[in-house]
Structure 1
């Protein structure tokens, strides 16, 4: 029987974090992911000869790696990491305390006593602790632990000094820290060459994304957003510049050719965002193949064509070969398997692929996802899962790991008569346009382009010799700035993303010899956003029946936003808000499902509420049985019973006495959805909420109502 071709595409992407006005790099994520992920993923693949796969690179990522490798990068975070705390002023100490807990707490802070101790001392908010409260040694330990959190499996195995520091745990010296940074510099400097070597050896295929990771269909015409989302609010000024989209493609291809070898390359358009006009540009610029999401394919098929049959075979649009990602299986890697036992997760994914192999022998399944951000949630940076997965895929006779070029070589592809516009997220463009902040950014982008380029046609410029103002414009057109505008995603560095977008526009004007317009000095994203958590205003006692009985029942409750995502976009948005509060006997929680929860998760599904205060507890809600039990992690015995109800809403009453909460102390809380005892989703995705228990204080407040 013909094998099912499994085409893995790992997408590696970072925007240009360098402030083009000051020249300083404002965020360190390119460097840190180079330490932890870029070389790491290649080294894991190299351990499995014949494990064919595709790595997709964004040129702005490669550009930044070059700056770090040559020592040209002026990174304010790395400067803060290198500096001796004894020589820091108050602002520098505050910067370290504010930023150096920017890791996944569950994987990289809680397991390590010293890092956890420092996090607890700082408090739950970024400004909770005064810099004067921390000694020089505490700040140095924080610097080292932040760096250690970014060491991946292979680096820890190859460099004995890293396990030594992990074992040492605290009281690090300046020499310890600087030696660790030297190791990191060496690792980062070798990443590009490792990509080049592995492709030249035929071990991997390298594909490319347009230069600055723009949403190409919106560059061609912002009005196309209404084809995907009728009625969406568009910017006041139309942005219609297909020549810019073409230049992003051409310059991106040329840039990678000069760095990694000139050859025909496939393309993962930024965020899988495509349209008919975009694919024509790709074909005309010599792109070998392109890929997008199955939602785009579903909207593009003629009536009567089965999506399953079409999804697991190559397609083509006007002779350009196309693959469409299997959304469920790709998202399982990105969002589901991180907290599964690695062998079990690898077996589950392989089982799904074997089922597809029986239904579609000789077909192709495309698994396309972020190749860097999800691993911080996995055990040992994802190595146990990936090694188990690659091993199983190679051992399974019905499956064949393949690059995309190999997968499409043996099939002419099913022709598509039309191509629906959209991206891999919701098959539309609403992440990047439609919100007032996003629309303002598009309007300012159009104005800057009009003011500085006039009637010039950028595509006429030589791709390998672009003027500075053109490069700044291309970088300003990147999708990342728009990703963080609006309410879809959140980050503590949102103000920096806003500043970088406006600075790139400033640089366009400066490079053209013009005065920078005053509006670019004003923020687009408000500086003071409402907090993630609002505390309760009074004690209250709701009726636990799964229904909204009256307006006042939960009026005094606190609220925590669960919907805003981070650098990765999770497709599972069952819960968007948690309401919480208490009386003298119970902690009350309320969740408003987007779908009827018992019907969604079936007879084998349940919710776990994991609570960490003075002690760790798990509250388990069975939506079908309408029961809630409280027990310690790892123990079967039920310590207490509460109340639970699941109807239009989910309501829980968790007994307070066993929790032993102290007034004014923190309670960490996370919500987990399990089906067949395997976690399928969690909220918040980026780590537990931190709530302040104010029981006695609220009791006193009632006297003043």
Structure 2
């Protein structure tokens, strides 16, 4: 959140999304953590393990401002930073208090010993408790012989996952380990604050930007899915910031919208985007993430951008059958089979996720392009609704409103951000009778070029409320037919 471009420090080759810099949001997240700690434990926290041990120099003043005295992260963060400054020392230098200074703020820091921490987190649960405890004790005893005389070993596990893997949540292993620790000369446990409180700490120099996973931020940014998620956060945040500056939204509504945005900024969403990790719940996480961002718009009385209804997680599912050739059908609410035989189609009646299923009136969505026009047709039970809306996401945000049974008029609106739309002149034609037909020139839509990428959804309004949407989740996507495609699919 502080600066997405900080990922390039450890991954200079990576392709990143449009830059997002929101240190004020990062500060709010830290302050919320302190408030939660105060609420549960009756006092603020002195120390911090950032999400996955992720740190950068710019975060130091924010942590200090939030009232933290020290933080912990991974040994790789220390060594990467020292190596960048020409360090050629010993690994045993890890085991001591360190100090980092940035932007007029100073904090103490401990870097965890990774192999033993990971042993507890990923291996000890598969080992007999006494054997696992002795393995840990022996290695700590060896480290004590080589580390600085006033040194310390930090064992830090990321989250609660380790104990879930033990048959007894780790109780037998922990009992065995602490029994052995108490019986071993030269080893004793201590608290982080107790140790750091009496030591100045060795200067780190320039802190490396990275996490305990590879010493970088690859898990959260750089892959297409991850970058798309960050783009939506930036776009939604820009919208919310503009709304705040406009002064037309109440403090209560703004506060609720910011809470949704803060929730979407959590690191765990991006853990499941991209190829690094997969789970059967990927699509659920994806929907929840986008739902949080959609809530920001809805709280302010604005229809969320159509693109937020499109899953970010790659599903490989094609919604609808794309067009195979250019079409030039006569304008009508029904049309003949031959006139629409090359068109794309979406079978709306199969969409079991649509709203108001008991009164769904749309049966089929047909669409395609001719030489200079976009053609669209809805088949269904009349009256379809007071208004039918086509929301185009690509190649640019365009909204077409068709008046339905009221007046049959067509209006066109365009947007730069997919949120705020402005009316423009439109030369579209519409026809009813058994369905709804539309023909609109490419020039009105602002489309350019052959084979244009198109994505859209259809919304039906009745009683002033959206009662049907197709697709219910996602967009109808297709590529406008090219001459090469026409030749491939020609027939007599």
Question: TM-score, with normalisation over the residues of structure 1?
Answer: 0.42
Aligned positions of 1:32-431 closer than 5 A: 219-235=1-17, 237-301=18-82, 302-304=85-87, 306-318=89-101, 319-360=106-147, 361-431=149-219
Q: Is 1:298–1:307's contact at 8 Å kept on the other side of the alignment?
A: no
Give the Cα–Cα distance (whole angstroms) in 2 for the partners of residues 496 and 296 of structure 1.
33
Shift of 1:303: 2.6
> CA-to-partner distance for each residue in 1:470-490, whole Å, 9 max, x for gaps?
111111000111000011111
Q: Is 1:330–1:369's contact at 8 Å kept on the other side of the alignment?
A: yes
Q: What are structure 2's unaligned runs of at least 5 residues?
A: 246-251, 318-492
Q: Is 1:289–1:320's contact at 8 Å kept on the other side of the alignment?
A: yes
> CA-to-partner distance for each residue in 1:52-97, whole Å, 9 max, x for gaps?
xxxxxxxxxxxxxxxxxxxxxxxxxxxxxxxxxxxxxxxxxxxxxx
Shift of 1:255: 2.6
Q: Is 2:92–2:146's contact at 8 Å kept on the other side of the alignment?
A: no
Shift of 1:437: 0.4
Shift of 1:353: 0.4
3-state SS of the aligned residue for 1:503? helix
Shift of 1:310: 2.9
Give the Cα–Cα distance (whole angstroms) in 2 for the partners of residues 465 and 419 of structure 1.
39
- State the match for 1:596 in structure 2: none
Shift of 1:333: 0.6
> CA-to-partner distance for each residue in 1:505-548, whole Å, 9 max, x for gaps?
0111122232211111110002359xxxxxxxxxxxxxxxxxxx
Give the Cα–Cα distance (whole angstroms) in 1 for the partners of residues 243 and 254 of structure 2.
17
- State the match for 1:698 in structure 2: none
Give the Cα–Cα distance (whole angstroms) in 1 for the partners of residues 239 and 9 of structure 2.
29
Aligned positions of 1:500-539 closer than 5 A: 500-528=288-316
Give the Cα–Cα distance (whole angstroms) in 2 for the partners of residues 309 and 297 of structure 1.
12
Give the Cα–Cα distance (whole angstroms) in 2 for the partners of residues 372 and 452 of structure 1.
34
3-state SS of the aligned residue for 1:364? coil
Q: Is 1:296–1:422's contact at 8 Å kept on the other side of the alignment?
A: yes
Shift of 1:496: 0.7
Shift of 1:391: 1.6
3-state SS of the aligned residue for 2:170? helix
Q: Is 1:310–1:414's contact at 8 Å kept on the other side of the alignment?
A: no
Q: Is 1:257–1:263's contact at 8 Å kept on the other side of the alignment?
A: yes
Give the Cα–Cα distance (whole angstroms) in 2 for the partners of residues 405 and 379 of structure 1.
32
Aligned positions of 1:545-560 closer than 5 A: none
3-state SS of the aligned residue for 2:136? helix
Q: Which runs of structure 1 show a deviation greater than 3 angstroms over 4 or more consecutive aligned residues?
A: none
CA 1:466–1:276 in structure 2 vs 1: closer, same or farther (change >3 Å)? Answer: farther
Shift of 1:339: 1.2
Give the Cα–Cα distance (whole angstroms) in 1 for the partners of residues 209 and 283 of structure 2.
31
Shift of 1:337: 1.7
Shift of 1:444: 0.7
Kindly indicate which of the two structures has a greater share of residues assigned to helix. Answer: 1
CA 1:232–1:365 in structure 2 vs 1: closer, same or farther (change >3 Å)? Answer: same
Give the one of 221, 226, 233 matched to 1:445: 233
3-state SS of the aligned residue for 2:124? helix
Give the Cα–Cα distance (whole angstroms) in 2 for the partners of residues 358 and 303 of structure 1.
26
3-state SS of the aligned residue for 1:487? coil
Q: Is 1:330–1:367's contact at 8 Å kept on the other side of the alignment?
A: yes
The structure that has the greater radius of gyration is 2
Give the Cα–Cα distance (whole angstroms) in 1 for the partners of residues 286 and 87 of structure 2.
46
Aligned positions of 1:664-675 closer than 5 A: none
CA 1:283–1:514 in structure 2 vs 1: closer, same or farther (change >3 Å)? Answer: same
> CA-to-partner distance for each residue in 1:337-390, whole Å, 9 max, x for gaps?
221111011000010001111122331111111342123332323221111112
3-state SS of the aligned residue for 1:467? helix
Question: TM-score, with normalisation over the residues of structure 2?
Answer: 0.59
> CA-to-partner distance for each residue in 1:31-50, whole Å, 9 max, x for gaps?
xxxxxxxxxxxxxxxxxxxx
- State the match for 2:278 in structure 1: 490
Q: What are structure 1's unaligned runs of at least 5 residues?
A: 1-218, 458-463, 530-705
Highest RCO, 1 vs 2 (Cα 8 Å, sep ≥ 6): 1
> CA-to-partner distance for each residue in 1:156-213, whole Å, 9 max, x for gaps?
xxxxxxxxxxxxxxxxxxxxxxxxxxxxxxxxxxxxxxxxxxxxxxxxxxxxxxxxxx
3-state SS of the aligned residue for 1:322? strand
Q: Is 1:232–1:434's contact at 8 Å kept on the other side of the alignment?
A: yes
